[in-house]
């Protein structure tokens, strides 16, 4: 199991009730999210920057 720090850009077109699901779905593309936070929002472009810690399971080299 490996832990990674990642940053993702999320489109804010989703409603606030769906936003958590959208973020977690996007993060799961990189691994299993342990924790995440929205660190900035661009109102003009309707984008949010999310920083997260995810884990991945893979073959060891």
* pLDDT one-digit tens code per residue, 4-59: 999 999 988 866 678 889 999 999 999 999 999 999 999 999 999 999 999 998 75
**What are the φ and ψ backbone dihedral angles of 45, each rounded to 5 degrees?**
-90, -5
State whether residue 18 is helix, strand or coil: helix
Residue 16 lies in a domain: yes
Count how many domains the chain has.
1
Is it the case that residue 61 has pLDDT exceeding 50?
no
Residue 18 lies in a domain: yes
Domain region containing 21? 2-56
pTM tops 0.85: no
Angle at 37 between CA 35 and CA 40, to 5 degrees: 160
> 1 falls in which pLDDT band (50, 70, 90)?
confident
**What are the φ and ψ backbone dihedral angles of 26, each rounded to 5 degrees?**
-65, -40
């Amino acid at each position: 199991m490996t832990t990674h720090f990642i940053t993702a850009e999320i489109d804010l077109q989703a409603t606030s009730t769906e936003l958590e699901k959208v973020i977690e779905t996007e993060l799961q593309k990189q691994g299993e999210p342990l924790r995440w936070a929205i660190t900035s929002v661009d109102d003009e472009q309707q984008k949010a920057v999310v920083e997260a810690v995810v884990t991945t399971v893979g073959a060891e080299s």
